[in-house]
Amino acid sequence: MTGKSAAAALLCLLAGAAYAKPGAQTETAVLAGGCFWGVEAVFEHVKGVRNVVSGYAGGHARDANYGAVSSERTGHAEAVRITYDPARISYAQLLRIYATVAHDPTQVNRQGPDVGPSYRSAIFPQNAAQREAAQRFLAQLRSSRFYPRPIATRIEGGGFYPAEASHQDFMRRHPYHPYILVHDRPKLAKLKRAYPQLWKA
């Protein structure tokens, strides 16, 4: 994609976006995009985000644990729950970061070296307004042709179950883990470069 066409695609994604809501309380978004370590780290560095929790979306509570989910038979997706201040950042802006920085929305049931349905790209709207915004965003993303391959992201329903303590704040606690250095550190650099006005150190 040329610089001109990429810029046009990004402008298309901005069109009709819902921006900050003055006076609103915190809201929650649940997004799945591969290994939750990197997705969590990206959103922890976004202004307006209050808290990010790694966990499992979809499936049932009884088998929402890493061992079971890794079997790829539970129906869960590795996901993050983002608590954010809608007076500072909108749901639409979170979706743009999700689709252009946090993961590759064209990969089917995988992200990089991680393969299986638990690594799928999926948005879990928390209310009707989010569902409508997610549908609109994905339609814009597809029509913009920002990515040369088809968008694989699905809109799903289901609960969210926090992951084990060992998976929370993983990048912060293990900054030199080989997986983090190879697959997740570049996402932070991309976030800072692509969205400098939203970067939080």
| pLDDT, tens only, 111-162 | 999 999 999 999 999 999 999 999 999 999 999 999 999 999 999 999 999 9
pLDDT above 90 covers what percent of the chain? 88
pTM of the model: 0.89
Provide the 3-class DSSP secondary structure of residue 32: strand
What is the model's pLDDT at position 22? 59
Domain residue ranges of the chain, discontinuous segments joined by +: 3-194
Q: How confident is residue 31, by pLDDT bands cut at 50, 70 and 90? A: very high
For residue 35, indicate whether it is catalytic.
Answer: yes
Pairwise pLDDT comparison (12 vs 136), residue with the higher score: 136
Mean pLDDT along residues 82-96: 97
Q: How far apart are CA 18 and CA 201, in angstroms?
A: 25
Catalytic residue among 29, 30, 35, 97: 35
What is the model's pLDDT at position 24? 62
Tokens representing 137? 């965003």
Q: How far apart are CA 1 and CA 85, in angstroms?
A: 34
Superfamily of domain covering 3-194: Peptide methionine sulphoxide reductase MsrA (3.30.1060.10)
Chain Cα centroid distance, residue 58 = 15
